Amino acid sequence: MTMVDNAVYVDGRRTDNPKSLDETYEVMRERGGMAWIGLYRPGAEELQSVADEFSLHELAVEDARNGHQRAKLERYGDTLFTVLRPARYLDDVEKVEFGELHVFVGPDFVVTVRHAESPNLARVRHRLEGNPELLALGPQAVLYAILDEVVDQYEPVVAGLENDIDEIEDELFSAGPDVARRIYELSREVIEFQRATHPLRAMLEALERGAEKYQLDLELRRRLRDVHDHVIRVVERVDAFRVLLHSALTVHATLVAQQQNEEMQRLSESSLAQNEEMRILSESSLAQNEEVKKISSWAAILFAPTLVGTVYGMNFDHMPELAWPLGYPFAVGLMLAMGIVLYVSFKHRKWL
């Protein structure tokens, strides 16, 4: 059902609850009262009916139909068109949910078009109906009450974001990937929050500037100034959040870079240690090779005379040493010659 609430007020008091838009128009004209029509995601036919009855500008109607508008305040003749971006903090998922509210304010009517669940305009209506003196000030009083409700709903959002940022600061030095993702998510929410709140300052200042021209009641002007003060506080805190998140992101990036540098340094030191081990092993292996060469060289040198001696040590009938006078010197010389030749050869190869 797109028509959430629909009433006609005379002197600040609810006089009738029309069942349809056409009935609302008829009652409003008969009693000379103010119509307050609340629509939730209306269809094109309903929105066009309201536009035809109250002569709403086609550009404003198109914005209300399509949605996805920035917060703004525009005047078309004697009609004010306001776009607000209400917000609420969802504790269960720690997220900020943004809505969109369009408000048409004319001399004797208020039309609200909601595109999200928030804000709770039933609460605004109930509060105003409990204060007939304020509601008797007309459609501008309804606009004030809606602005006040939207700004009041920003306070829990600010508190929720502040708590999230405090948690980020506690986890910042862990330098984990989840921290970076959470900082980015919070930054997006804060930027969206800035887009919702920053235009309100200019909007309220514009209402203040036009107060004399459009004969805005003094009491309403005071109340709007109070809303303006609240908006300034919210904007300043949200701006501070963005600065904090930017600093947190910078610190996190620095910590991650430092962690990576330390890891690279550890890897470099480990690599150097491994290289040193390999060098020591290589030197040890070379030393062992040198020893093996020396041992093998001396073994070969000693093996040559041993071989000759072994042959001459056999018990043959005709021993060269016994039958041949030069046999012994020959054998000894042969052993020496073989040893010298092997020594010179190994020395030349640098085995000795």
- CATH classification at residue 81: 3.30.460.20
Is 147 domain-assigned? yes
Q: Which two structure tokens, joined as six digits, stand for 118?
A: 């928030």
pLDDT value of residue 316: 46
Is 217 domain-assigned? yes
pLDDT value of residue 231: 96
- How many other C-beta atoms can be found within 10 angstroms of the C-beta atom of residue 102? 22
Residue 80, domain extent: 3-260
Give the tens place of pLDDT for each residue, 77-121: 999 999 999 999 998 888 999 999 999 999 999 999 998 887 889
Give the tens place of pLDDT for each residue, 304-344: 666 666 655 545 444 555 566 666 666 667 777 777 776 77
Is 274 domain-assigned? no
Give the tens place of pLDDT for each residue, 162-210: 999 988 877 777 656 678 888 888 999 999 999 999 999 999 999 998 8
Is 334 domain-assigned? no
Give the tens place of pLDDT for each residue, 7-40: 999 999 998 888 889 999 999 999 989 999 999 9
- For 103-142, letters b (16+ CB in 10 Å) and e give bbbbeebbbbbbbbebbebeebbeebbeeeebbbbbbbbb
Q: Could you identify the residue written with the tokens 């150097």?
A: 272
Using the predicted structure, report yes or no on whether residue 250 has a pLDDT greater than 90.
Answer: no
* DSSP per-residue codes, 135-166: HTT-HHHHHHHHHHHHHHHHHHHHHHHHHHHH
Is 347 domain-assigned? no
pLDDT value of residue 319: 53
Give the tens place of pLDDT for each residue, 33-72: 999 999 999 988 999 999 999 999 999 999 999 888 899 9
Is 301 domain-assigned? no
Task: Look at the chain and report how many structural domains it folds into.
Answer: 1
Give the tens place of pLDDT for each residue, 284-309: 777 677 667 776 766 666 666 666 66
Give the tens place of pLDDT for each residue, 203-232: 999 999 888 877 888 999 999 999 999 999
Is 276 domain-assigned? no
pLDDT tier for residue 346 given thresholds of 50, 70 and 90? low
Half-sphere exposure of 289 (CA within 13 A, CB side): 7
Is 300 domain-assigned? no
pTM: 0.74
Alpha carbon distances (Å) from 52 to 22, 57, 58, 182: 11, 9, 10, 48
- How many other C-beta atoms can be found within 10 angstroms of the C-beta atom of residue 156? 13
